[in-house]
Amino acid sequence: MLNETAYAKINLALHVRRRRQDGYHDLETLFAFVDDGDRLVAAPASADRLTTRGEFAGKIDDPFGNIVAKALGALAHGAGWAVELEKRLPVAAGLGGGSADAGAIFRMVEQTHGLPDDWRTRAAKLGADVPACVLSTTCIGTGTGTDLVPVPSDLAGTPVLLVNPREAVPTGPVFKAWDGIDRGPMPGGSVRAIALAGRNDLQGPAIAICPAVADVLQALEDTAPFLARMSGSGATCFALYDSVEALHAAAEKLARDHPQWWQLAGSLR
C-alpha cells in the first residue's frame, strides 16, 4: 500500500513575458508548495483503476481519462495499481491540483520502480506544471514553466492560508485575456525577496473574468499578512504570515465572515 500527498502548488511570483508562436507563453515563475493537498492511496491490482472521493471528486468529469490515469499510463509500474484519490483541492483553481495528483503518482512510481531518465519529458507532456509538482520543492520555472532550477527557500515553514471563492477559473481564458505587455523579468535574490518584489501578471485578467478574486484578496489583505497574492491563473489566493497564531486568527476570521469560501491552512514546504 502506497500513500502520497499531492501538495498544493502556489506561484509566489508569475511573470508572463511573451506569447509564443505555438500558442503557449514564456514565463518566469517561482513555484512553492504547501504541506497539504489531495491524498492518494495505491495498492497492487490486476489492472489500473481509479476511484475518487472527497469534496471535489464530483468536479472530475472523466475519472478514467483524467491526469492520474494518464500518469499511470506514462510510466511502467508493474501489473496494475488500484488508486484512490481523495480530491481535497478545488478544480481549475490555480493550485495545480491535477498536476499535483500526477506528481504524486510519479513519486509513487519512483519509490517502487524508479523513474526513467526522461521522466521530465513525460511529465511535461501531461501539463506544464507537472514536472514542478513531481519535485514539489521550491524552484524557479522558465520557458513554459517546465525548465526548473530548485532553489533553497528562506520561506520554508512559513504559515500560509489558501482561499478560493468556490468559482472555477479555466486557465485558457485567463491567458487569452493577458494584454501582452511584458512588465519585466522576475527579480533575483532570496525566495522571500523574489516573492515580495514579484507579481502575478495573470491576477488582473483573472479578476476581470472572476471578480470574486478581488474580494478574496481584499479579505486576505485585511488580515495583515506580509504577502497576499493570487496563485497561477486563479481563483485561489494565498496569504503568508509571520506566525501560526496570525494564520489561525486569519482563518477563523475568514471562516466567520465568508463561510461559503474554501480555505486550507498549512505551511510552505
End-to-end Cα, the chain, rounded Å? 24
Active site (catalytic) residues:
9, 129
Collapsed DSSP state (helix, strand, coil) of residue 65 = coil
Q: Answer whether 16's CB lies under 8 Å from 42's CB.
A: no
Collapsed DSSP state (helix, strand, coil) of residue 158 = coil
Closest by CA position to 155, among listed 29, 265, 249, 31 = 31
Collapsed DSSP state (helix, strand, coil) of residue 255 = helix
In the chain, helix, strand, coil percent, each to 5?
A: 30, 30, 40
Phi and psi for 250 in degrees, rounded to 5?
A: -65, -45
Q: Answer whether 100's CB lies under 8 Å from 69's CB.
A: no
Run of H or E including 240: strand 237-240
The CA distance from 185 to 128, in Å, is 20
- Residue 115, amino acid: L
* DSSP one-letter code for 230: E
